[in-house]
């Protein structure tokens, strides 16, 4: 909760003003039964209508002030809660963006989404609730007890006798509820993951007629959420009935003892009327306090999950103690070994060098480690052993932002955003339309862009569902080329292109991006056979490196791929 208070601190002035207004409004509510008691016990007997109307008008004035001030305070509380949550979400999103891929893998993306949405909403509820009820309920509780003490201390002691039991109930229930709310949020993480997978794979699910299977899978995770929510709800729901029992026992005691004292002329009827009104206030205050504890328990669990993300240390920091090497190549992998889970090796002893402006093709079976090489080069993960250097400098000696500005990249299953073609290529880099169209021309996208009704300003649907797979890939390549990168990475990004378009793309890349170092990951041998160097990888190991002709003569795996795809004829 300490991290959340950092976001509340800038608003203490506004919170304090709101609390003062809330206190005044609450005190007005407390004064009304007291005035009513005075009217009943002192003015009705005298029959002085003028004073009765005067004090009756005073009650109306107190009621109007109370309602007005409470509304103003509640509106101020809502603004503070909104602003706190807004800044919290902004910084949490910024932190999530800075996490390394390993940290994201550890927390999982669905959990991060849940922390950004439902957990921050719980914080929003808590901040608002604490300002609205966190002041009003204690004032009504304590103020009600104080006022009743002035009316009749003996009757007040009857009510006070129930408070230790009530406090014990609140403590025990809240203590049991906190871990349950943590389990609820974890279950919500699983539900978000399932929803995310189904939304992303809805076409595959429909194509394979697996809708019923996915419904059952979702029903299971939904039931898990419901189970934990019910368990936490049942636990926290015990508080109100138990509190009501003790307070009602106290009320019965007040009425019995009050009737006895009225009959003996110790107190008057107006005191009993006021007592029952104050009792109702105290009852509602205790219910509000238990509600605060419920909200607090839920938000405390959420705050711990959010704080965990904020406390994650930056992993991919710039390292200044790495000496520069005099490499012959521009990109050098020096005996690189890497494992995602630090148990099973995903890459082992990868060792090659690529000159500036040259092209490297990477080919291998699915799961062989091709994309892992790209992720290590862009420093999404750090190597376990060995080093990766660009122009003689270890990539760990670069600032991560400066390093990644060197790249233009198209990943597998890359993202098209719900925006215009222009913005999908521009990507917030303030590129001119001329630069974008030039990149689109090299990427073989210009022709179909110009055929669109609104040209480059054509709006694309989520994930680019209103264009074909080949058109989507060409737009993604144009995005990668638009800022003239030093290193261009195409990770299986031409799989939806026909052979002619693929060949023209490679030809234009050589012609217009001569100084750009190209790395092409492909399943199709035709996409990489003309590269200056080709890396053949199998089960995380480097089994061949050289030109197309050299690999055909020396690497059996490459020969098999070539003959299966090309039929033995170039």
Residue-range domain boundaries for the chain: 2-311
Indicate the burial class of 151 (C-beta count within 10 angstroms; 0-12, 13-18, 19 or more). buried
Asked whether residue 282 carries a pLDDT value surpassing 60, the answer given is: yes
Highest mean pLDDT among 38-42, 56-60, 253-257, 562-566: 56-60
Q: Is the pTM of this model over 0.85?
A: no
For residue 292, give the nearest of 127, 72, 164 by alpha carbon. Answer: 127
Q: What confidence tier does 501 reach under pLDDT thresholds 50, 70, 90?
A: confident
Span 41-84, pLDDT tens digits? 777 777 778 888 888 899 899 999 989 998 999 899 999 999 99
95 sits in which H/E element: helix 49-98
User: CA–CA separation, 273 vs 277, rounded Å?
Assistant: 6
Enumerate residues 6+ apart whose C-beta is below 8 A from 45.
none
Give 177's strand partners.
none
Mean pLDDT of all residues in 200-217: 73
User: CA–CA separation, 205 vs 207, rounded Å?
Assistant: 6
Asked whether residue 496 carries a pLDDT value surpassing 70, the answer given is: no
Mean pLDDT of all residues in 501-523: 86
Q: What confidence tier does 524 reach under pLDDT thresholds 50, 70, 90?
A: confident
Please, are residues 184 and 235 in contact by the beta-carbon 8 Å criterion? no
For residue 96, give the nearest of 362, 373, 407, 306 by alpha carbon. Answer: 306
pLDDT of residue 91: 93
pLDDT of residue 55: 86
Contacts 24+ apart (CB under 8 A), 133-136: 133/288, 133/289, 133/291, 133/292, 134/292, 135/19, 135/22, 135/23, 135/26, 136/22, 136/25, 136/26, 136/70, 136/285, 136/288
Q: Does residue 275 or residue 444 have the better pLDDT?
A: 444
Span 384-440, pLDDT tens digits? 999 999 998 999 999 988 998 899 998 877 788 888 988 989 888 888 888 899 999
Asked whether residue 567 carries a pLDDT value surpassing 80, the answer given is: no
Asked whether residue 569 carries a pLDDT value surpassing 60, the answer given is: no
User: CA–CA separation, 493 vs 479, rounded Å?
Assistant: 12
The residue written with tokens 């490499």 in the block is 327
Which of 147-156, 402-411, 557-566 is predicted least confidently? 147-156
pLDDT of residue 163: 78
| C-alpha to C-alpha distances, 350 to 102, 340, 445, 517, 519, nearest whole angstrom | 20, 16, 35, 19, 15
Q: How far apart are the first and last CA of the chain?
A: 66
Q: What confidence tier does 365 reach under pLDDT thresholds 50, 70, 90?
A: confident
Which of 129-143, 265-279, 553-567 is predicted least confidently? 265-279
Mean pLDDT of all residues in 521-529: 84
Indicate the burial class of 169 (C-beta count within 10 angstroms; 0-12, 13-18, 19 or more). buried
pLDDT of residue 390: 93
Asked whether residue 182 carries a pLDDT value surpassing 80, the answer given is: no
pLDDT of residue 200: 65
Q: What percent of the chain has pLDDT over 90?
A: 21
Mean confidence (pLDDT) of the chain: 85
Asked whether residue 568 carries a pLDDT value surpassing 60, the answer given is: no
Which of 94-108, 230-244, 292-306, 474-488 is predicted least confidently? 230-244
Mean pLDDT of all residues in 274-278: 81
User: CA–CA separation, 6 vs 84, rounded Å?
Assistant: 9
Q: What confidence tier does 570 reach under pLDDT thresholds 50, 70, 90?
A: very low
Which of 22-31, 284-293, 501-510 is predicted least confidently? 284-293
For residue 115, give the nearest of 307, 312, 311, 295 by alpha carbon. Answer: 307
Please state which of the four CATH numbers 1.20.120.10, 3.90.180.10, 3.40.50.2300, 1.20.1560.10 is assigned to the domain occupying 2-311: 1.20.1560.10
Span 294-330, pLDDT tens digits? 788 788 888 888 999 999 988 888 888 777 787 788 9
Beta strands in 311-443 (DSSP E): 331-338, 347-354, 359-364, 385-390, 393-394, 407-410
Asked whether residue 463 carries a pLDDT value surpassing 80, the answer given is: no
Enumerate residues 6+ apart whose C-beta is below 8 A from 551.
534, 536, 544, 558, 559
Give 546's strand partners.
534
């Amino acid at each position: 909760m300490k991290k959340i208070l950092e976001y509340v601190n800038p608003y203490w002035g506004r919170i304090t003003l709101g609390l003062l207004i809330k206190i005044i409004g609450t005190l007005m509510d407390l004064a009304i039964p007291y005035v009513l008691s005075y009217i009943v016990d002192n003015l009705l007997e005298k029959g002085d209508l003028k004073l009765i109307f005067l004090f009756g008008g005073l009650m109306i004035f107190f009621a109007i002030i109370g309602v007005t001030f409470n509304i103003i305070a509640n509106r101020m509380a809502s603004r503070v809660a909104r602003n706190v949550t807004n800044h919290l979400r902004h910084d949490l999103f910024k932190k999530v963006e800075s996490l390394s891929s390993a940290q994201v893998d550890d927390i999982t993306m669905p959990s991060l989404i849940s922390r950004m949405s439902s957990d921050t909403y719980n914080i929003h509820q808590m901040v608002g609730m604490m300002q609205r009820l966190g002041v009003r309920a204690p004032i009504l509780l304590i103020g009600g007890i104080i006022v009743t003490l002035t009316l009749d201390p003996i009757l007040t002691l009857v009510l006070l006798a129930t408070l230790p039991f009530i406090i014990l109930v609140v403590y025990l229930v809240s203590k049991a509820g906190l871990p349950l709310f943590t389990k609820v949020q974890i279950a919500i993480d699983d539900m978000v993951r399932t929803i995310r997978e189904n939304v992303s794979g809805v076409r595959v699910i429909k194509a394979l007629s697996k809708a019923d299977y996915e419904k059952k899978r979702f029903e299971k995770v939904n039931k898990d959420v419901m189970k934990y929510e019910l368990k936490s709800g049942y636990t926290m729901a015990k508080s109100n009935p138990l509190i009501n029992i003790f307070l009602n026992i106290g009320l019965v005691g007040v009425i019995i003892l009050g009737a006895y004292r009225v009959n003996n002329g110790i107190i008057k009827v107006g005191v009993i009327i006021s007592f029952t009104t104050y009792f109702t206030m105290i009852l509602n205050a205790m219910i509000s306090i238990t509600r605060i504890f419920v909200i607090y328990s839920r938000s405390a669990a959420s705050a711990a999950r959010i704080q965990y993300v904020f406390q994650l240390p930056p992993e991919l920091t710039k390292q200044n103690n790495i000496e520069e090497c005099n490499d012959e190549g521009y990109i050098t992998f020096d005996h690189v070994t890497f494992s995602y889970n630090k148990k099973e090796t995903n890459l082992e002893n990868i060792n090659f060098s690529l000159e500036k402006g040259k092209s490297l093709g990477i080919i291998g079976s699915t799961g062989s480690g091709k994309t892992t090489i790209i992720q290590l080069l862009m420093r999404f993960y750090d190597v376990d052993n060995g080093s990766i250097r660009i122009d003689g400098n270890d990539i760990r000696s670069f600032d991560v932002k400066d390093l990644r500005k060197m790249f233009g990249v198209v990943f597998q299953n890359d993202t098209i955003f719900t925006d215009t073609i222009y913005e999908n290529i521009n990507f917030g880099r303030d590129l001119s339309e001329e630069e974008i169209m030039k990149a689109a021309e090299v990427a073989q996208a210009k022709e179909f862009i110009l055929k669109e009704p609104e040209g480059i300003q054509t709006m694309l649907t989520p994930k680019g569902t209103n264009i074909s797979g080949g058109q989507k890939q060409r737009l993604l390549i144009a995005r990668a080329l638009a800022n003239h990168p030093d290193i261009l990475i195409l990770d299986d990004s031409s799989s939806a292109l026909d052979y002619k378009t693929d060949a023209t793309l490679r030809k234009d890349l050589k012609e217009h991006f001569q100084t750009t170092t190209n790395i092409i990951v492909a399943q199709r041998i035709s996409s990489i056979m003309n590269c200056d160097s080709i890396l053949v990888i199998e089960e995380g190991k480097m089994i061949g490196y050289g030109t197309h002709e050299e690999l055909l003569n020396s690497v059996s795996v490459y020969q098999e791929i070539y003959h299966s795809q090309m039929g033995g004829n170039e």
